[in-house]
Structure 1
Amino acid sequence: MQTVVYRVKGPTWGIAIDLTAGSASAAAPPAGAERISNRIWLDTTPVLEHPPADRSGLRLTQDEVGWLRHGLGLATEAIEAARPPGRHTVVTVHRVLFPAADFQVEGLAGAIVEWSGKEFGIPEVAVGLSFDRAANRFLFDWQPHRRAPGTGVRRVRPARDLRGRPLTDASGTE
């Protein structure tokens, strides 16, 4: 389990979020977790259904969990590339703590993106960040992780039936 402290500082205030999460590898899709991609799953049960026993974290709303999903979604391609093929990765958020006064919900996406970078050793997700003085809010411009040019070329495999035999077209050729 790893904890990150995500901080964004502005001219008058900032966002500070402590997020503790862990990851596990599974052979089959996990029960009770939300699918983020084909092989990435998010379990927010510890922060959605009950507060931590030590009262050091907060219970999140569905809207707040949506921002965790968004942030993890931005990093899924890189996480899948870093994890063993054919295995599912379950990310479980165990604790989230932030001050109610200086908080912006979008910061939860940034916190889980930063956690993902440390947990899986993936490149940073580009985040365009500015401060709107009139609205007294941070503006996030999320950019998903992009592969380097020339990587991730997919090979086209011949079509096969359920028994692994090559499928043929009407002319009898593959």
Structure 2
Amino acid sequence: MGTYRYKFQKGGFGLFLGIAAEATRLTNPPTMGVPVSNRVWLDASEVNNALYGNRLALNEREVAWLRVGLGKVSGDIERIETSPYILISVRALEIFEVDYAEAALAPAIAGWVAEKFNLTPRLRNVSRDSATGQFTFDWNE
């Protein structure tokens, strides 16, 4: 298991989030988690708050952001991994409450995967609409 710290700062906003996860290679479909692609699954059922040591209960939007980020790199994982199934289990998050934005979960898990599997990072740029607060990610697709 390794921790990846996603940091992005641009005039007027920043995204900061640490994520610790592990990859398990399986021969049968996982019994926990949700499929993100044909062979890559996500488990976010037992996530700890790395700063305070307590359990986090992620809401549906947070899990959806994790699925977005993992989905962006799942094809890359499938190209290099020979295991029939790869389960990515999120174990801990470092959430800085002042700067926390759920959207940071997507690039954080994608960055963790890129580091873990020695992949070229896909995310090129992040922008934020100051009127709506919505983030837009350029995934180099």
Shorter-chain-normalised TM-score: which range? 0.7 to 0.9
Asked if 1 retains the 8 angstrom alpha-carbon contact of 2:107 and 2:123, the reply is no
Alignment match, 2:126: 129
Distance in 1, matches of 2:40 and 2:140, equals 19
RMSD: 2.2
Classify 1:120/1:15 alpha carbon distance in 2 versus 1 (closer, same or farther; 3 Å): same
Of 103, 117, 120, 2:100 maps to 103
Asked if 2 retains the 8 angstrom alpha-carbon contact of 1:27 and 1:87, the reply is yes
Q: Which moved more, 1:123-132 or 1:20-29?
A: 123-132
Alignment match, 1:154: none
Asked if 1 retains the 8 angstrom alpha-carbon contact of 2:33 and 2:41, the reply is yes
Tell which has more relative contact order, 1 or 2 (C-alpha 8 A, sep 6+).
2
Instruction: State how many pairs are aligned.
Output: 140
**Residue correspondence of structure 1 range 42-57 to structure 2 within 5 A:** 42-47=42-47, 55=53
Distance in 2, matches of 1:105 and 1:17, equals 9
Deviation at 1:56, TM superposition (A): 5.8
Instruction: Give ranges in structure 2 of 5+ residues lacking alignment.
Output: none
Distance in 2, matches of 1:28 and 1:9, equals 41
Asked if 1 retains the 8 angstrom alpha-carbon contact of 2:18 and 2:94, the reply is yes
Alignment match, 2:30: 30
TM-score (norm 1): 0.71
Asked if 2 retains the 8 angstrom alpha-carbon contact of 1:64 and 1:108, the reply is yes
Please state which structure has a larger fraction of its residues in strand: 2
Q: 1:74 and 2:65 equivalent?
A: no
Distance in 1, matches of 2:102 and 2:115, equals 21
Instruction: Tell me the percent identity.
Output: 29
Asked if 2 retains the 8 angstrom alpha-carbon contact of 1:106 and 1:140, the reply is no
Deviation at 1:102, TM superposition (A): 1.4
Q: Which moved more, 1:59-68 or 1:6-15?
A: 6-15
Classify 1:99/1:29 alpha carbon distance in 2 versus 1 (closer, same or farther; 3 Å): same
Deviation at 1:129, TM superposition (A): 1.6
Classify 1:136/1:122 alpha carbon distance in 2 versus 1 (closer, same or farther; 3 Å): same
Distance in 2, matches of 1:136 and 1:51, equals 25
Alignment match, 1:88: 85
Distance in 1, matches of 2:49 and 2:7, equals 23
